[in-house]
Structure 1
Amino acid sequence: MARRRIEMFQYRQALVRLRAGDSERDIARSGLMGRQKLAAVRELAQARGWLDPSHQLPDEALIGAALGERRRAASTVSSVQPWRELVAEWQDAGVQGKAIHAALVRLHGYGGSYSSVARLLVDLRGRRPPDVTVRLDFEPGEAAQVDFGAGPLLTHPDGRLRRTWAFVMTLAHSRHQYLEFVWDQTVATWLGCHRRAFEWFAGVPRRLVIDNPKCAITRACVHDPQVQRSYGQCAEGYGFRIDACPPRDPQKKGIVEAGVKYVKNNFLPTRSFRDLADLNAQARTWVLQEAGCRVHGTTHAKPLALYELEQAHLGPLPAIAPDLGEWHRVTVHRDCHVQFDRALYSAPFRLVGQTLWLRATDAAVALYEDWTHVATHARALRPGERRTLREHLPPAAQAFFAHDRRWCAQQAREVGPACESLIERLLADRVMERLRAAQGVLHLVQQFGRERVEAACQRALVHDSPYYRTVKTILHTGADLRAEFADVPTVTYGASRFARDAASLFAPQQGDLLH
């Protein structure tokens, strides 16, 4: 049980009754103070002559000074006093009382009880200056506060049970709020929620007081916080200023903190939801019909009623909604691609190993080297998809991908019929992929000319050896230039001597026995 605090005027009333001749038992029975305390008061009054009716009754200040001297004289020195400063340091660092007592025993040989340590901690805590706070008042349209809060668990479209998050933006003057539940706290979600909140309010507050989420602040700091580039462009496009709270100081945005708590305690507990769309539909109805129509505990007015007055003071929405792209730092990998949102986008091969800026919207992904635009791709539609521009690849890779099967067939047709036939046989191989071999045959035209390559292909076909190595050997040895090449027959054998058709093979012969 907590010790009862006796006020100074009660000590003076006890003196009055003692001077009047009341007994300590009668005074204690009235509930003024206990008999033990009354005995101490009588002893002090007798020592100072306050019970003599001829003397003037002391005032409360004099009684308080006398009682303080008595307490100091009666007090004993704490057994923890030699380590008072050390205990104060540990207490400021957040160390618990049990841990402090154990450390004193282990490190300094302290033999006292934990109660002595606990009393010293209470004394140190009482000597600290109290935490002082000042409530801020906001003019209409001056500010809104933004925060995320944990929402209910729902089944995600991928079939798994996932946590939802409540995005809450509260106008600081009227306390009218925008509430939306989302699946994540990414930059794109953060920016999209802001756009829908401004459209909900039909205006933009001059300042947004936020915490330090990674989707908005890349480095939290009291004096010089660093704003995420995407969020900075959002603020510029809509015309509001970002006011980030100091780290670990949620009281600076207490309005929205209370709003999030109100959502958790009044909206979520008594409802069930089919999916995210149903959750947000019920949230909008609740804000308009319940939360906005209640009498707020601080303003003592209905938020929607105050909002009707505040709305005219909000900044106008831009005529054209800003393009809220999200910015990210990405690295160009060895395959000349950067990775974003589990998809790959090509960049010029000269930038391999460098870090670029990537700006993503719903429809496109753009790459920048500092401020210089490098490339733009259509946004990938599925994880693992590659968006590649052929001109971003090294020259050898560009040549390889440009010289595909269609190119090989076209080039072979221009060389001649023998070359076309050989290339067709190479590309028709059902076991091996011979695209490189076909490209190699056609590249020999640059060194030996079309006529010689056509002749070499014809000789390779005659010998039934339609391979790149055969054509190359014929050209390097000059076999295509020999005169006897023209006399080589195109068909080595005529009809086979011992070949029989199926009818004659299975026809019954004379003398066969029929059963």
Structure 2
Amino acid sequence: MFEYRQVLVRMRQGDSDRDIARSGLMGRKKLTAVRRIASERGWLGPEQPLPDDAEIAGVLGRTPHLPSTCVSTLEPFRDVVRGWFDAGVQGTTIFSALQRNHGYAGSYSAVRRFLLQLKSERGVRATTILTFAPAEAAQVDFGAGPVLTHESGIPLKTWIFVMTLCWSRHQYAEVVLDQPVETWLACHRRAFEWFGGCPSRVTIDNAKCAIIRHCMHSPEVQRSYAGLAEAYGFRIDPCPPHDPPKKGIVESGVKYVKKSFVPLREFRDLADANRQLREWIMQQAGVRDHGTTHEQPLTRFAIERPLLTRLPDVPPVLAVWSEVKVHTDGHVVYKKALYSVPFTLVGKQLWLKATDTVVQAFHRHELVATHPRLRKPGDRHTVRDHQPPEAQAWLEHDPQWCLARAKDIGPACHAVILAMFNNTVLENLRGAQGIVRLREKVGDARLNAACERALAFSSPQYRTIKTILAKGLESEPAAPSTTTAPADTYLSGGRFGRDLQSLLIH
């Protein structure tokens, strides 16, 4: 409007369009259109006052009265390009597609200008600067960290955890090797200990270690993180999905760490990197003049620290909760290690609570199993009482148990069991267990007699002893005479009614 007003003033003074154009205010073609409109409205008469800016803008603003100085070569493809632009396709890709599919012969600069025009038509999205009271809130984020070198020479990718207090801008930062739930919880604890207290609210993004399902209005918090918030007394404030500027304080803090601390430094290992990072925060970042507050973060932190929520006398146990399914072998898997649960829960969904030392399994809020934490993948911890009865019997009734019970039954039974375990081919543990369990049906005396007969026929086997007992042959002489026996004896004596010599005679 200032330029339009200057043009009207010079026209009222009698300057020609050529003189005005020579001064660089406006081109001659446009000056012709402005002079025509000003004459129609009587703005060029010296006796009439100049119109105000609002009236000039209403008439000489972007209206069809003024001819367009330039028509983009992209106008025939406006709808197509607008669709691609709204879909988030980048400019170089749009330029290539226009050349390939539509025979576009213009330049990429024309495409870039056209995209800027489309962007301006969307309008500018206004933002609001949030203000925070001391100890009211902190913001948390991860950023890419320096690449460390392992002892073996393998490069290790790292991340930097940053928590920034919104009022003082004092921050805690830590270099970590991963971003699982355990690391997320442990970094929060160390940050609160670094500050000496806890803010009332912690603003985070929608990382999987904190938020199960991100949503604008009803986000679902990870159970482990919810337990930490309850223990320390802070509220979790997730950002809306795809809207990181909502935690712009820590976003700027992460950029500051990455640009000011990481470059031009050498780190021996993870511990050395964190040592240097802590020194940098206290000696440089904490005493700088902050660009927003124009005060030193540590100076403001001295005011904020007494207002933080007091930490618990006993630090809460960091626990990771995960939902697991019981496999058919009666075990659940956590971090590639196996833990047993009662066999009656096979196929059920359980909640697993894992701390640094203990793993606990819960079914419908009832504790059903407790195990020491295993670290090596593939390790297994099994409680014998969790196994089915038949499995427990197999595990408990080992060879020593069988020999001890056989000795109580009698010397013949002990000799049979010992002979079975001395077999160089078969394990015979189940057969020995079966022989010992026969005492419950026939008693020690009959079982020992049957074992004695089995030994006499050199057949110390479960099937032999069971057959002798089933046919009542345990009371028969172990070495029958060589005289001829009645025919009914041959028919009813069974497999072990006669010895080999009597069979050969007849």
Separation in 2, partners of 1:459, 1:272: 84
What pairs up with 1:324-343 in 2 under 5 angstroms?
324-343=318-337
* Contact 1:337 1:344 (C-alpha < 8 Å) held by counterparts: yes
- What do residues 54-97 of structure 1 show as CA deviations (whole Å, max 9, x unaligned)? 44444434433342486446359999889977865654333556
Quote how far apart the aligned CAs of 1:110 are: 11
Partner residue in 2 for 1:357: 351
Q: Percent of pairs identical after alignment?
A: 54
| Partner Cα separation in structure 2 for residue 276 and residue 421 of structure 1 | 65
Distance 1:380 1:268 in 2: 35
Q: How does 1:22-41 map to 2 (within 5 A)?
A: 22=15, 24=17, 26-41=19-34
Greater mean alpha carbon deviation, residues 71-80 or residues 227-236: 71-80
CA contact 1:348–1:392 (8 Å) conserved in 2: yes
The answer to whether 1:74 aligns with 2:67 is yes
After TM superposition, the score normalised by the length of structure 1 is 0.83
Equivalent of 2:57 in 53, 64, 70:
64
Partner of 1:467: 461
Instruction: Tell me the equivalent position of 1:3.
Output: none
Q: Which moved more, 1:438-447 or 1:97-106?
A: 97-106
Q: Please tell me the residue identity of whatever aligns with 2:132.
A: F
Please give the per-residue CA displacement for 1:446-488, whole angstroms capped at 9, x wherever unaligned: 2222222222323333333333233333333333211354999
SS in 2 for 1:152: coil
Q: 1:348 to 1:159 in 2, by over 3 A?
A: farther
Q: Is the 8 A contact 2:453 2:478 kept in 1?
A: no
Residue 119 of structure 1: how far off its partner (Å) = 7.2
For residue 132 of structure 1, what is the aligned residue in structure 2?
126
Measured in 1, the distance between the counterparts of 2:231 and 2:465 equals 66
Q: 2:339 is aligned with what amino acid?
A: Y
Q: Report the residue type matching 2:371 in the other structure.
A: H
3-state secondary structure, aligned to 2:147: strand
Q: 1:98 to 1:184 in 2, by over 3 A?
A: closer
Indicate yes or no: 2:149 matched with 1:164. Answer: no
Q: Residues of 1 paired with 2:26 and 2:445: CA distance? A: 125
Distance 1:282 1:202, change over 3 A: same
Map of 1:221 onto structure 2: 215
Q: 1:79 to 1:72 in 2, by over 3 A?
A: farther
- What is the alpha-carbon distance in structure 2 between the residues aligned to residue 347 and residue 82 of structure 1? 70
Q: What amino acid is aligned across from residue 470 of structure 2 in structure 1?
A: H
Aligned AA (2:56): I
Cα contact 1:98–1:114 (8 A) shared by 2: no
Matching residue within 282, 291, 305 for 1:288 = 282
| CA drift at 1:439 | 1.2
What letter corresponds to residue 126 of structure 1 in structure 2? S
The aligned residue for residue 425 of structure 1 is 419
RMSD over equivalenced CA pairs, Å: 3.3
| 121, 126, 141: which one aligns with 1:147 | 141
**Residue 17 of structure 1 pairs with residue 19 of structure 2:** no
1:235 aligns with 2:245: no
Equivalent residue for 1:264, pick from 234, 242, 258:
258
Contact 1:292 1:302 in 2 (8 A): yes
Q: Deviations over 1:326-352 (max 9, x none)?
A: 111010110001111111111111110
Give the CA deviation at 1:390: 1.2
How far apart, CA to CA, are the structure 2 residues paired with 1:186 and 1:180? 15
The 3 A distance-change label for structure 1 pair 322 and 484 is: closer
- How much does 1:31 deviate? 4.1
1:7-48 residue CA offsets vs partner (Å, 9 max, x unmatched):
x11222233234334455554454434455445544544555
Counterpart pick for 2:342 among 348, 355, 365? 348
Q: Say which of 265, 272, 296 aligns to 1:278.
A: 272
Q: Distance in 1 between matches of 2:44 and 2:294?
A: 54
Give the partner amino acid of 1:387.
H
Provide the C-alpha distance between the structure 2 equivalents of 1:318 and 1:202, rounded to a whole number of angstroms: 11
Count of aligned pairs: 481
Q: State the alpha-carbon separation in 1 of the partners of residues 387 and 294 from structure 2.
A: 66
Question: Taking structure 1 as reference, are residues 409 and 143 closer, same or farther at Cα in structure 2, changes over 3 Å only?
Answer: same
Deviation at 1:305, TM superposition (A): 0.9
